[in-house]
Amino acid sequence: MKCFDIKNPDKTLTDSLIDKINNLTKPKGSLGRLEELALQVGLIQQTLTPKLSNPYNIVFAADHGIADEGVSFSPKEVTRQMISNFLSGGAGVNFLARQHGFKLKVVDGGVDCDFQAIEGLIDKKIRKGTRNFLYEAAMTAEEMERAIEAGAEVVTDCYRDGCNVISFGEMGVANTSASSMWMTCLTGISLHDCVGAGSGLDASGVSHKEKVLTQALQNYKGSYDVLDVMRYFGGYEMVMAVGGMLRAAELGMIILVDGFIMTNCILAASKLYPEVLSYAVFGHQGDESGHASVLRYLKAKPLLNLGLRLGEGSGAICAYPVLESAIRMINEMNTFGNAQVTKYF
């Protein structure tokens, strides 16, 4: 498997960053999370004047064999249909990317469709959808390794374009089912507390989904090692996101984490390389059942709670202005000394 060289940021600058933040013209701590974010980004970038450059959002798309069991409200063809919507600029993530200055990459990681060459679609297809994990592993070890490498390659391309802050999104019918399986296997949280409505299941639909996933868990005879869990229950788009997150951390980039699925991706990434969490900014807490629990498990403090459950990277991009405010604070606010204001704390 591809190895990553991820280190926790050097803490040498901590006192200097805190001193700079505390000497801005405000009561100590009065800008709350903005101060915490400025400190985090300053340590990631090893500078007293951090900056955000050329943000990207990558949408990885793939289909899931478990969708054949009726665990999603959305029919399987929605995955390929949404590819066209992303590329034409009409999806939710598109207007948010335009609003906040994000460049968008759309990646076919394993959509069950033979696309003709389409401008803007990055072809990293592993297979036309995973296998049905109710009966067998979703992917082979070799396919998982290819997916990790593919995700890392796309992030490298963004980095070479001057990007230092990146978010990830996903498109794949039934990927909340795969995420629920990762969550229960990697955290020990009961499957019941990990399963939600996804794209819109009613109570009976959620009950059916839980029964299918319970049976899949009973059928699983693996080791519960993170790589085996990723391989057995994952989607190609999810594994690509894990590879992308690990590469972003290796490159010293800021990772804006989106909703339920992407939070479970960074959960898996952190089981491989715990240091990745030092580079993560959790954008929001969504409405999908289980998201709050996995955030608590990770001791993550999401920036927003807007009732979002779209995915695609939408919540991460919504949170970007908060991150930007933190960077403006540390770079643009005057100090007590320069402003000739008496320090009032």
Establish whether 69 is a catalytic residue. Answer: no
Give the end-to-end CA distance of the chain in Å, rounded to a whole number. 53
Q: What is the Cα–Cα distance from 178 to 215, expressed in whole angstroms?
A: 13
Q: Give the CA distances from residue 276 to residues 7, 33, 233, 255, in Å, rounded to whole numbers and listed in that order.
A: 8, 20, 22, 9
d(CA 263, CA 258): 7
Cα-to-chain-centroid distance, residue 286: 13
Q: Both tokens of residue 100?
A: 């906040």
Fill in the amino acid letter for 184: T
Cβ distance 1 to 148 under 8 Å?
yes
Two structure tokens written together for 127:
């297979």
Q: Return the residue matching tokens 């000739």.
A: 340
CA 126 to each of CA 62, 144, 193, 288: distance values in angstroms, whole numbers, following the listed order: 9, 9, 31, 28
Distances 28 to 20, 337, 340 between C-alpha atoms, Å? 11, 15, 17
Which among 35, 170, 237, 312 is annotated as catalytic? 312
CA distance 212 to 219: 11
For residue 21, the SS3 value is helix
Provide the 3-class DSSP secondary structure of residue 75.
coil
Question: What does the alpha-carbon distance between residue 112 and residue 237 come to, in Å, rounded to a whole number?
Answer: 12
Catalytic residues: 312
